[in-house]
Amino acid sequence: MHIPTLEDVRRAREVIAPYLRPTPLLAFSALSRDLDCQAYLKCENLQAVGVFKVRGGINLMATLSEDERRRGVITASTGNHGQSVAYAAKCFGVPATILVPHNPNPLKVASMQRLGAKVTEHGRDYDEARLEAERRATSEGLRYVHGSNEPLLIAGVGTVSLEIMEELADVEVIVVPIGGGSGAVGHCIVAKELNPAIQVIGVQAERAPAVYRSWREKRIVELDSTDTFAEGLATRSGYELPLRILWERLDDMLLVSEEDMGRAILYLLETTHLLAEPAGAAPTAAAFKLSERLAGKKVVLILSGGNITLEQLRAVMDSATPF
């Protein structure tokens, strides 16, 4: 598979510019004070459909041949990647089928359906839905869109990093959530190419550590199951393309607990008035664990998405304790 380059990301920005605006990079005095650093949030929760992944969807859909557009696309998702594909498919008039695991996030399913995608539940988790999507892509002649092993998606989401570097060229640390790894890979390609001294730190959920273990053990690890309320991080396997890049360029990766993410959701809501889903809050949770290491530095936390359900938010507000 082609490993995306900085030039691929720059081309992707030109492709997505007519459809998506840059998202804000915001500094908050309370966050900086509490972390003892210059802290910024890259607010991808304010992106179309509330998540960074839509950038990749637009970039991929724009490159499809007329035959591929006519036949349609199929993918699997816990919700955010599926929303990205559904949004982009609507922009280009492409039929889209999204397979989601049983008991999906209803907010994300409703969004995909409003955008015109056909949503079908299959399997107990993302990876079972993914295998079925791959089978149907072959049997039905559809363009399969892998959520991580797809260079066009990676180049698209890499535009997040390009925007950061153009606005805050002296950033020292970027902390990014990792599900399949496309977002973190974007920063490894862009930020570290423009300034190799920048540290890119990934964050996974303790209850879904497949990529964390894959990165640490230098092999692709597959888990039997995951058990996290952060569906954006709930992958059961590492994937070849992102790991090839992460093994070479990622500086560090750590795990956060369900409690850590809940506290971060509450903290962000109270101090910045920004709503984060669990995956989007993971970098803030990680930053509090890394506070000594980040002290005095210029740090960007990627608030990757804001698609949290009312049920999840109520549970967090009932149980989370302050940092």
Catalytic residue set? 53, 304
The residue with tokens 């607990």 is 257
Amino acid at 216: R
Instruction: Give the list of residues 6+ apart from residue 233 with CB closer than 8 angstroms, or none.
Output: 177, 178, 179, 204, 205, 208, 278, 279, 282
